[in-house]
């Protein structure tokens, strides 16, 4: 008999009627003979509300209490779904993270899973009992405290559970019917992808696609969990296939570029006329690293006189003020003439495993963007992606231009 993990996000469990709809999807799979573990998120908006209360209570709150509070949203939906399933005549029970247990480290608010014990859930499959698991939460065993896995963490709970119970598949049900070539709200001709390689999905998620938590893709890749993204709003009696996230070898026809992602979550910092000598980059980036600020794109310009240079880089928008303060504090040591910043920037990226074997992929984009009058502020490339930093006002134009350029537009 095959085992299945079915994960439902916040919009899919937003109210009791939708929870009933979720239960119909679950019933279909159990009726087909699968052993099922369901992982649920909190009702949509619930986690935001809880986080808001925590912040209102005290600006410098205790992170372990934060977790105790925000984990409660998932407890409610797990219990409700179990009740609805039982009401439909199925065997089910809810599981909280600590009951499984799903073990994590103690990084409250963004804990990492260190191990999941699937044995109790598996034992109950013998009795055809459906496990309804509260996503997003775990247990730090040494302190005995509840932890959470970071926003969007239920995806990771589902994938880790699938690995632990050796599930044949992990279906991520959401409010869209799969992974798209880009955000359909920006490009109406975006297409649903049949298959995406793990590595591509990892880049897409890291570079701004919101459909899966990045960590969940990492876990799926490491444990080779067969992952499907599909819609919970399909008729439970007539389910559609969605997008399969799989190994590169399982991609039959691959395109050079698979998707275009964008992220407005970036801010640019430029240091003008920094001394052009060894140790300067370290003097800038070490203090930022020590403050846990993640620097992404970096460009250094060698100036004519070769005594000074300009360095531009990006940091997460939320860290912009902190990064600026750190650099201003060290102005004397770093010795730059001017610090300039920009927050109205966006990073647009093209991703595809086909880039490994094709040259000139990024060059074509630079040309196409130039023809549209889009100025590029910074560029980074890696084996299977490239990113450009541009003014936020050009987001739609740039995404559409690249989407067409690489032949991703759906035929009409």
The site partner of 272 among ligand ASP, Mg ion, none (C-beta below 5 to 8 Å per kind) is: none
Residue window 57-76: x/- pattern of binding to ligand ASP, with contact defined by CB under 6 A? ----------------x---
Among 3, 4, 8, 9, the residue binding Mg ion under the rule CB under 5 A is 9
Among 118, 138, 152, 352, the residue binding ligand ASP under the rule CB under 6 A is 152
Q: Which of 190, 191, 223 is nearest to 399 (CA)?
A: 190
Handedness of CA 208, 210, 211, 215 (dihedral sign): positive
Residue 41 lies near ligand ASP (rule: CB under 6 A): yes
The site partner of 270 among ligand ASP, Mg ion, none (C-beta below 5 to 8 Å per kind) is: none
Nearer to Mg ion, 152 or 352 (CB): 152
Residue 135 lies near Mg ion (rule: CB under 5 A): no
* Stretch binding ligand ASP (CB under 6 A), from 40-48, 102-110, 245-253, 375-383: 40-48
Residue 10 lies near ligand ASP (rule: CB under 6 A): yes
Residue window 84-123: x/- pattern of binding to ligand ASP, with contact defined by CB under 6 A? ----------------------------------------
Question: Among all chains, which residue has been given the structure tokens 């739609």?
Answer: 396
* Stretch binding ligand ASP (CB under 6 A), from 147-155, 177-185, 189-197, 340-348: 147-155
Q: How many residues bind Mg ion (CB under 5 A)?
A: 2
Nearer to ligand ASP, 173 or 386 (CB): 173
What does the block give as tokens for 53? Answer: 């209360």
Residue 151 lies near ligand ASP (rule: CB under 6 A): yes
Among 97, 153, 208, 259, the residue binding ligand ASP under the rule CB under 6 A is 153
Residues 6+ apart with CB under 8 A from 316: 265, 266, 267, 293, 294, 296
Residue 11 lies near ligand ASP (rule: CB under 6 A): no
Any bridge partners for residue 340, and if so which? Answer: 270
Residues 6+ apart with CB under 8 A from 290: none
Task: Annotate 205-241 with DSSP letters as a single string.
Answer: HHTT--SS-HHHHHHHHHHT--EEEEETTS-TTS---
Task: Annotate 48-82 with DSSP letters as a single string.
Answer: HHHHHHHHHH-SS--HHHHHHHHTHHHHHHHHHHH
Q: How far apart are CA 75 and CA 122, in angstroms?
A: 21
Under 8 Å between Cβ of 365 and 350:
yes
Q: How far apart are CA 339 and CA 64, in angstroms?
A: 37
Residue 77 lies near ligand ASP (rule: CB under 6 A): no
Q: How many residues bind ligand ASP (CB under 6 A)?
A: 13
* Stretch binding ligand ASP (CB under 6 A), from 78-86, 112-120, 152-160, 259-267: 152-160
In whole angstroms, how close is the CB of 3 to ligand ASP at the nearest point?
22
Q: How far apart are CA 71 and CA 96, in angstroms?
A: 9
Query: What SS3 state is found at 100?
Result: coil
Q: Strands, DSSP E only, in 177-307? A: 195-197, 227-231, 243-246, 259-275, 298-302
Residues 6+ apart with CB under 8 A from 307: 275, 276
The site partner of 208 among Mg ion, ligand ASP, none (C-beta below 5 to 8 Å per kind) is: none
Residue 136 lies near ligand ASP (rule: CB under 6 A): yes
Residue 242 lies near ligand ASP (rule: CB under 6 A): no
The site partner of 118 among Mg ion, ligand ASP, none (C-beta below 5 to 8 Å per kind) is: none
Among 135, 138, 208, 242, the residue binding ligand ASP under the rule CB under 6 A is 135
* Stretch binding Mg ion (CB under 5 A), from 14-22, 71-79, 111-119, 150-158: 150-158
Kindly report the backbone phi and psi dihedral angles of residue 281, in degrees, each rounded to the nearest multiple of 5, phi listed first. Answer: -60, -40
E strand or H helix at 333, and its extent?
A: helix 331-334
Nearer to ligand ASP, 116 or 269 (CB): 116
* Stretch binding ligand ASP (CB under 6 A), from 153-161, 226-234, 280-288, 297-305: 153-161
Any bridge partners for residue 338, and if so which? Answer: 272
Residue 47 lies near ligand ASP (rule: CB under 6 A): yes
277 CB-contact burial (10 Å; exposed 0-12 / middle 13-18 / buried 19+) = exposed
Alpha-carbon Rg for the chain in angstroms: 23
Residues at the site binding ligand ASP, with contacts judged by CB under 6 A? 9-10, 41-42, 47, 73, 135-136, 151-155
């Amino acid at each position: 008999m095959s085992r299945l993990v079915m994960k439902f996000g916040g919009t899919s469990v937003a109210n009791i009627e939708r929870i009933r709809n979720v239960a119909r999807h679950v019933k279909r799979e159990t009726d087909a003979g699968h052993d099922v573990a369901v992982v649920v998120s909190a009702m949509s908006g619930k986690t935001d509300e809880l986080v808001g209360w925590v912040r209102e209570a005290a600006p410098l709150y205790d992170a372990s209490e934060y977790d105790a509070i925000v984990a409660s949203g998932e407890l409610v939906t797990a219990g409700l779904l179990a009740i609805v399933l039982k009401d439909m005549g199925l065997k089910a029970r809810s599981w909280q993270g600590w009951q499984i247990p799903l073990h994590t480290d103690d990084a409250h608010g963004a804990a990492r899973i260190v191990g999941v014990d699937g044995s109790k859930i598996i034992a109950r499959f013998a009795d055809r009992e459906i496990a309804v698991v509260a996503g997003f939460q775990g247990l730090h065993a040494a302190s005995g405290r509840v932890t959470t896995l970071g926003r969007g963490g239920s995806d990771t709970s589902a994938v880790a559970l699938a690995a632990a119970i050796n599930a044949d598949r992990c279906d991520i049900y959401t409010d869209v019917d799969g992974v798209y070539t880009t955000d359909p709200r920006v490009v109406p001709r975006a297409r649903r992808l049949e298959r995406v390689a793990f590595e591509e999905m990892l880049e897409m998620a890291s570079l701004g696609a919101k459909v899966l938590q990045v960590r969940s893709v990492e876990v799926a890749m490491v444990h080779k969990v067969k992952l499907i993204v599909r819609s919970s709003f399909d008729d439970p009696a007539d389910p559609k296939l969605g997008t399969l996230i799989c190994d590169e070898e399982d991609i039959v026809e691959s395109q050079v570029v698979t998707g275009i992602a964008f992220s407005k979550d970036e801010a640019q910092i430029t240091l003008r006329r920094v001394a052009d000598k060894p140790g300067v980059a370290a003097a800038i980036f070490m203090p930022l690293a020590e403050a846990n600020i993640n620097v992404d794109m970096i460009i250094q310009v060698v100036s004519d006189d070769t005594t000074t240079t300009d360095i531009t880089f990006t940091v997460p928008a939320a860290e912009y003020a902190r990064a600026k303060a750190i650099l201003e504090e060290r102005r004397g040591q770093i010795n730059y003439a001017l610090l300039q910043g920009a927050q109205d920037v966006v990073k647009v990226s093209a991703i595809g495993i086909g880039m490994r074997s094709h040259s000139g992929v990024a060059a074509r984009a630079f040309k196409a963007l130039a023809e549209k009058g889009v100025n590029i502020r910074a560029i980074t490339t890696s084996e299977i992606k490239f990113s450009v930093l541009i003014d936020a006002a050009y987001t739609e134009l740039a995404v559409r231009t690249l989407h067409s350029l690489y032949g991703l537009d759906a035929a009409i």
